[in-house]
A and B are shown apart, each in its own frame.
Chain A
Amino acid sequence: MTAPYALLAAALVGLGLHGVLAHAEPLRRLLAFNLLGSGVFLVFGVVARRGAAAGLEADPVPQAIVITGLVVAFAATTLAVALLLRLHGGDPPQD
């Protein structure tokens, strides 16, 4: 039942890790890092789904962890983007 997503999670972790390590452009690294994060969150998703019991569709604790983790990942990405734009961005686009 969760097998397709387990395989997907593993593949996303591998892909994301590869992007983070192999890319030289910071923005691409950042994108890859976000994919790596998605893979890790999906591992929690598989774990949560497998832990479905007592009338709950999935174990709520890993779900709560993923929600927290998604917010952290977004905040980290904004910090990285702000750094990147300060380093390389030049002037913001003038319309």
Chain B
Amino acid sequence: MTLALDLLLAGAILVVAAWTVAARDGFAACFGFVATGLLLALAWVRLGSVDVALTEAAIGAGIGGVLLLNAAARLRGQETVDPGDVARPWQARGIAALCTAVAVALAAVLLALPVPAPGLAPAAAAALPPTGLGNPVTATLMTWRALDTLLEAVVVLLAVIGVWSLAPDAAWGGRPGPQVPPAEGPLALLARVLPPIGLVIGLHIVWAGADGPGGKFQGGAILAAMWVLAWMAGLVRPPPVGSRRLVLALVAGPAVFLMVGLAGLALAGSFLALPAGFSKPVILAIEAPLTLSIATGLALLLLGPPARAA
């Protein structure tokens, strides 16, 4: 039964993905992309990675899909194609041959990976209890590979600054994103009802991440989506770019993380070393501002640069 399930799932993903690449219309292709993401979330559950399934649902298919669909809608076929970018027939054949070769080689290699599989699961399971955390993925992100997570949070901040830098000069200082008039009807209703529920669920997922699937990236994405929903209905407005409040919310997470890291260097002799026995409270203290920064960052990335001056 499970094999049939896996085959059906993998087959469906492949068909939708192929269609996404081949579709004629960019907007339609975005629908295909979202469907792929949704099915991929199921695939991640089947692969025993519920944390990743959550992330894929929240970020890959969820806010990522919305971002691409909005882009497709706003471009409305206005993209001009650089003639140098259009593949000539012989090039197209070459590309197809190359990609087929890569896929075949990759498939062969993946099916022949060593047995028993090497990996870090035993090491992680052994190192888990002293951290006080129950979820090995969160432990990986917050203790032994905390550096990656810290730099990741910085990358989100950099992306926001980068996206803002693409504003027209005249619009600098304005509020991020296009202008939205207040909505009426069903959208206005949903934008009032859903965000409070989403807030609870998002925070629950951040909190649950210590011991089960979840964490700040996934929960933060949900919080960001809820805020954007309220924004779409014209209920909330982002502060102008560069405003103190907004920048503080963006910087708080990585800044606190950095300070904890440097405190580890000063006190325990190693950057990001957490005090023995207190690692869980310290991790939670990092995660709170980090969630705020990630949610703010993701929401601002989804909105894009300011389109007009304040």
Contact = CB atoms under 8 A, between A and B. Distances in A.
Secondary structure at the B interface, as helix, strand, loop or mixed, is helix
Contacts of A74: 59-60, 63-64, 67, 298, 301
Interface in B70-104: 71-75, 78-82, 85-87, 92, 95-96, 98-100, 102-104
B125 A56 contact: yes
Looking at chain B, what size class is its interface with the partner chain?
35 or more
Contacts of B148: 64-65, 68
A88 B56 CA distance: 29
A4 B4 CA distance: 10
Interface of B: 3, 6-7, 9-10, 13-14, 17-18, 20-21, 26, 29-30, 33, 36-37, 40, 43-44, 46-49, 51-52, 55-56, 59-60, 63-64, 67-68, 71-75, 78-82, 85-87, 92, 95-96, 98-100, 102-104, 106-107, 110-111, 113, 117-122, 124-126, 136-137, 139-141, 145, 148-149, 152, 155-156, 159, 162-163, 166, 168, 178-181, 215, 217, 298, 301-302, 304-305, 307
Contacts of B49: 45, 48-49, 57-58, 63, 66
Looking at chain A, what size class is its interface with the partner chain?
35 or more
Nearest to B151: A68
B124 A56 contact: yes
A23 B67 CA distance: 20
A57 B46 CA distance: 10
B48 A42 contact: no
Contacts of B85: 24
Contacts of A5: 6, 10, 43, 46-47
B124 A59 contact: yes
Interface string A35-63: 10010011101111111111111111111
